[in-house]
Chain A
Amino acid sequence: MNTLKRSDISIGMVLLKLRTVIALVFLTVIFTILLQTGRGINFLHPLNLITIAKHVAITGILAIGMTFVIITGGIDLSVGSIVGLTGMIAGGLIHEGLVLNVFGITIYFHVLVIMLICLILGTLLGTVNGLLITKLNVAPFIGTLGIMYIARGFANIRSGGATFPNLQGKAELGNTGFPILGAGRILGLPLSIWIMIVLLGITLYVSKKTPLGRHIYAIGGNRRAAELSGVQVGRTTTLVYMFSGFCSAIVGLIIASQLVAAHPATGESYEMNAIAAAVLGGTSLSGGIGTVGGTIVGAFVIGVLSDGLVMLGVSQFWQNVIKGFVIIAAVVFDQMQQKMNARSTEVKDKKSRKEDVA
């Protein structure tokens, strides 16, 4: 009997909830029309879409890690620098090997070992972030800002600011194969996209169907209540930062492999893209709310927007301006949704009170 009234509210609610998807569709349609009519380019050509998705994967993988961090009510500013540092470490190990002066020898590792080392390094840096925040009570913003500078510093120190080029490796050293990560394809899709898909699948499952996922949401929603419900807040929070560091290392490896070179400035301001994607996807910076699915849609919005603007010939500077407006619009819509939620709650509440009285 109440369904009519409720549906009034929920149409608006559904539209608001799907706003990122709608924005994505809208942008795609606009760019398709503008590019077709203006420049005769088919925006929807599969090759073009794959290129966009490849770009999206970079932001998307970082943003998946970032989403969990933000859901716990934190922030991770160090991801871009970890991308840079892990890329440099991989590049250095392939290019120069590990020089042990004491023994006068140089060790060249297999690329898989090098990748493993980089993933461990990224995870370790995430661990440091987590411990700073949970054990030493450093504010997430400050702790990860510190690690951001430290990691970037070491990325530069590793090579004195120079680029490690030619990471194909040498057959005689047994360290070839690194570019496969960036150039390899399965079923026509680049590996980076597959990695994003796999990560998305795993994190969707973890967030929806495991106690760990519930605990992450609970910590962001009400840390104290979570603690009293037996959630190990410190351990879980640290784990989330570890995962973000791990994701950053993956991206560091992907980029170095795609470019077949490692440059110390790689990944600068990537943390902002990751945060923007999460926020566009509906993640609330106050914690407790957000989904990795939404975040990936958000990453696609950013990806389609920047690639579309590039193809239209819009300057880099204007791209930034437009991106800024889109992010602000997303947050404004977010506020609207919360207000609408509150209103529908009130309506329900009044209704239930009437029922109580009756």
Chain B
Amino acid sequence: MEEKKEAEKEVLLRAENIRKVYPGTTALKGVDFNVYKGKVNVLVGENGAGKSTLMKILSGVETPTSGKIILGGQEFTHFTPKTATEQGIGIIYQELNLFPNMNVAENIFLGKEIESKPGWIDHKQQEDKARELLMKLEQDIDPKVLVQSLKVGQQQIVEIAKALSEDVSILIMDEPTSALSKTEVDVLFQIIDELKSNGVSIIYISHRLEELIQIGDFITVLRDGALITEKPMEEVNLQWIVSSMVGGDSSKIFHSGQRSIGEAVLKVEDLFLQGSAEEPLLDGVSLELNRGEVLGIYGLLGAGRSELLESVMGIHENAGGRIFLDDEELGEPDIKDRIKKGIALVPEDRQREGLVQTMSVSHNMTLAGLWRIVQSKFHIGSRKESENVNSMFQGMSIKAAGPEVLITSLSGGNQQKVVFGKSLLTNPKVLLLDEPTRGIDVGAKGEIFNIMNDLAEKGLGIILVTSELKEIMAICDRVIVLSKGKVTGEFSKSEIDEDALVNASAIGHMTTSQRTVREQV
């Protein structure tokens, strides 16, 4: 019996003491990771825990700063995409990496085209092989169809087919189900079972914890770039996974006392936003925010959280509904106007939306609030500007060589503080925070939370969008849960409970079959 169990636990690949340092943050701090042969090896952790970085290292996209990878008795310091492929490692990325302007077969065989003679692609054979692969996946997708005309779920299947078109011994799936419907997930799980029985090892990353328990054989937990533990799946349950991901009861650190919450500062009524998809991104969302209150918005990817903040900010010109700030109704969506009236946003994607990389720290910080420091309508007073910037530097203890250095020379956490500073220098009444702790160190996270606390105490109304339950529990006075653009739950501080939040966030995410059954009833 013992022997059998040992045989089952054959390690195909072992990553040892992997470190990965990026400018400004350490993504992996000496992580060990085992991939057992013919098993589903689950990797979990919160956003920024280092899962994706580890997978990028295994697939050769990133080079580890130090550490080694042992595969089939051979030792590697790092992989390149080419060597990883040669070693039989395939990866399906979280973001789809397909070329929408090419057809399915061309995508599947990209970079490894089948040639009839050198330089000439054998389209016929590629299409036949592609069709064969897709049949195996039980998907009726025409290989000649352009990828852009496929649904997201189908595109995910094409990704999988692409990975399987090579002889893989290890297949990495990074959030493969985030875009899939329930039925498509079932198909995927069948495929995984089949692959397992063929001896393929799967590395599986997902935020959907129930899925992990269902499909996983081994589970490895990462937290803040460090390995927490590795266990066989039968020894763990959902509760254990959540608590080891989140790590103890750190949730009480930031905000224990009662805040003095004032009258309503922001009222949102019947917010509606149509995206490119059939279903609206926001569908009749109403909420109220009070002075000195931190309101959390929780929901799954695509629930409409960012869209809610963006609509309040006036970014979406086609957003419907009414928004009141201090009982004054805001007019047509106009970012400049809403900033002046007292709404400020810290956007989700710091690099893409928050910072101007070519500008200095100081210029970034004053960019949104220049109208507050101009004299005689158009002159930027140097002293006033530096006073403003310095107050933020001290208030948030920003670590930088000085306000005149380029913003890109700062670490992620300090960059985020600059984005915060930019928002605060517009003197807002309402602060909208979209995943403000994403991709920054733990220490900086704590500081960001302290800043939020201070601001709430000063009477700002804060809306915090986050996908990390820990953060919600740590700082929010109230939580609203969104699912598919609708409010599906509201919880006061005393009612906040992980299960309830997760359940509310899943409302509306049922399969078509379930829905038809329900409608028939």
Contacts and interface: CB of A to CB of B under 8 A. Distances in A.
B436 interface: no
Interface in A209-267: 209-212, 214-215, 217-218, 220-222, 224-232
A289 B24 CA distance: 24
A349 interface: yes
Given A228-B345, A229-B367, A222 B378 contact: no
Contacts of A346: 23
B5 interface: no
Interface of B is mostly: mixed
B335 A288 contact: no
B409 A348 contact: yes
A214 B363 contact: yes
Interface string A174-196: 00000000000000000000000
A48 interface: no
B345 A214 contact: no
A37 to B, nearest CB: 45
B351 to A, nearest CB: 8
A341 interface: yes
Contacts of A320: none
Nearest to B378: A210
Contacts of B136: none
A106 interface: no
Contacts of B406: 341, 345
A172 interface: no
Interface residues of B, number: 38
A353 interface: yes
A22 B161 CA distance: 58
A353 to B, nearest CB: 7
Interface in B395-415: 399, 401, 405-406, 408-409, 411
Nearest to A224: B353
Interface stretch (B91-99, B195-203, B293-301, B354-362): B354-362
A231 B356 CA distance: 12
Most buried by A among B353, B357, B399: B353
Most buried by A among B355, B370, B422: B370
A230 B353 contact: no
A221 B359 contact: yes
Interface in B376-392: 378-380
Given A212-B378, A226-B367, A230-B335, A217 B358 contact: yes
A8 interface: no
A210 B380 contact: yes
Contacts, number: 97
B339 interface: yes
Interface string A317-336: 00000000000000000000
Given A211-B371, A211-B374, A225 B356 contact: yes
Contacts of B405: 348
A349 to B, nearest CB: 5
B518 interface: no
A342 to B, nearest CB: 8
Given A211-B371, A341-B406, A289 B358 contact: yes
B221 to A, nearest CB: 25
Contact of A231 (B352, B353, B367): B367
A34 to B, nearest CB: 39
Contacts of A226: 356, 367
Contact of B367 (A214, A224, A288): A214
A326 B336 CA distance: 43
Interface in A258-297: 284, 287-289
A287 B426 CA distance: 26
Given A224-B352, A228-B335, A345 B23 contact: yes
B61 interface: no
B356 A345 contact: no
Interface residues of A, number: 34
B12 interface: no
B380 A222 contact: no
Contact of A225 (B24, B313, B340, B355): B355
B438 to A, nearest CB: 16
B380 A288 contact: no
A352 interface: yes
B368 interface: yes
Given A211-B380, A349-B411, A228 B358 contact: no
Interface in B319-378: 335-336, 339-340, 345, 347, 352-359, 363, 366-368, 370-371, 374, 378
Given A214-B370, A352-B411, A229 B352 contact: no
A349 B415 CA distance: 12
Contact of B353 (A228, A288, A349, A353): A228
Contacts of B408: 345
Given A228-B335, A231-B367, A349 B355 contact: no
Contacts of B378: 210-212
B261 interface: no
B315 interface: yes
Contacts of B23: 345-346, 349
B358 A220 contact: yes
A215 B399 CA distance: 26
A274 B166 CA distance: 53
Given A214-B363, A218-B367, A222-B355, A232 B24 contact: no
Contacts of B355: 222, 225
Nearest to B340: A230
A222 B415 CA distance: 15
Contacts of B24: 349, 353
Contacts of A220: 358
Given A209-B380, A214-B367, A214-B380, A221 B313 contact: no
Given A217-B358, A222-B356, A349 B399 contact: no
B358 A288 contact: yes
Nearest to B313: A228
B376 to A, nearest CB: 11
Nearest to A290: B358
B224 to A, nearest CB: 15
Interface in B263-314: 313
8 contacts: A218-B367, A222-B352, A224-B352, A227-B335, A228-B335, A228-B345, A288-B359, A345-B408
Given A225-B353, A341-B406, 8 more contacts: A209-B380, A212-B378, A221-B357, A222-B358, A225-B355, A228-B313, A353-B24, A356-B443
Interface of B: 23-24, 313, 315, 335-336, 339-340, 345, 347, 352-359, 363, 366-368, 370-371, 374, 378-380, 399, 401, 405-406, 408-409, 411, 422, 426, 443
Query: Lowest 9 CB-CB distances: which A-B pairs, in order?
Result: A288-B358, A221-B358, A221-B356, A229-B368, A230-B336, A211-B370, A230-B339, A345-B409, A222-B356
